Structure 1
Amino acid sequence: MSQLSHVVAPDGVAPGNGYSHVVWGTGRFVAVSGQIALDETGALVGEGDPAAQARQVFENLRRCLAEAGATFADVVKLTYFVTDVAHLPAIRAARDEVIDTARPPASSAMQVAALIRPDLLLEIEAFAVIGDERAG
């Protein structure tokens, strides 16, 4: 497992809702491009359903992380792009199925006017650090 340090609330900073304000570690840096709710054939999963789309996005992230030898335990930062912030509870529920909620990654969320396709409700990118013992 990565040797990551998580600080949910630094001195003088209010704690966030399900994220750490600061996360750091040493090892190999992994950047995963923004993932969308397409399955392995390129078909949309969950048209109009933010929960279904979020589950597919996190599955795509899992597969991308695995390709680099990483897991969600190695993720230090998630960035959420959503077409409507009202989708955030469904996205958080899907996130909480795959991350350690006691040691959540740093996160940013933003509402965007549109994504690459009008049927997409969200996109999520991830940064991870694989601990020195696995970085070789």
Structure 2
Amino acid sequence: MPHVVRVRAPEGVAQAPGYSHTVWGTGRIVAIAGQVAMDEQGQLVGPGDPAAQARQVFENLRRCLAAAGATFADVIKLNYYVVDIGHLPAVRAARDAAIPADQLPASTAVQVVALFDPGYLMEVEAWAVVPEDRA
């Protein structure tokens, strides 16, 4: 059995595009703090551009996962916080570029009034499960 199991739609639940309803796994739990479109120097990437910001967010998530010996294949849950729900297509495109369709995690997306700085359009946090034998 794989260390992460995804059920796109349990019996009696409609299949949703872009995420799995139920995901579980065995191994070390890795929590990735909410990532924004900030580069290595702490500068905003893509002011006013949801697609550029989403790409940077997923690159930051990739780097944080790698620090724990994880990849997007290990992600079991993503939480999206967007200041405009209209930015979700850009978030989904960045997600789809990073995560294969057969490895979609559970997810939640909410619109928020603001993030910590008005230039940031989204924040995404991740939860992963990494096999014990992987550093």
Measured against aligned partners, the alpha-carbon deviations of 1:36-56 in whole angstroms (never above 9, x if no partner) come to: 000000010000000000000
Instruction: Look up the match of 1:125.
Output: 125
Deviates more, 1:125-134 or 1:17-26: 125-134
1:102 and 1:48 mapped to 2: Cα distance?
Answer: 31
Using structure 2 for the length normalisation, give the TM-score.
0.96
- Misfit runs of 4+, over 2 Å: none
Instruction: Look up the match of 1:93.
Output: 93
Aligned residue pairs total: 134
Q: Which runs of 5+ in 1 are unaligned?
A: none
1:27 and 1:45 mapped to 2: Cα distance?
Answer: 34
Q: Which runs of 5+ in 2 are unaligned?
A: none
Secondary structure of the residue aligned to 1:48 is coil
Using structure 1 for the length normalisation, give the TM-score.
0.96
Instruction: Look up the match of 1:102.
Output: 102
Q: Displacement, 1:16?
A: 1.2
Please list, as runs of the form range in 1=range in 2, the aligned pairs for 1:5-24 lying within 5 A after superposition: 5-24=5-24
Secondary structure of the residue aligned to 1:132 is coil
RMSD of the alignment, in Å? 1.0
Secondary structure of the residue aligned to 1:97 is helix
Letter of the 1:33 partner, please give it: A
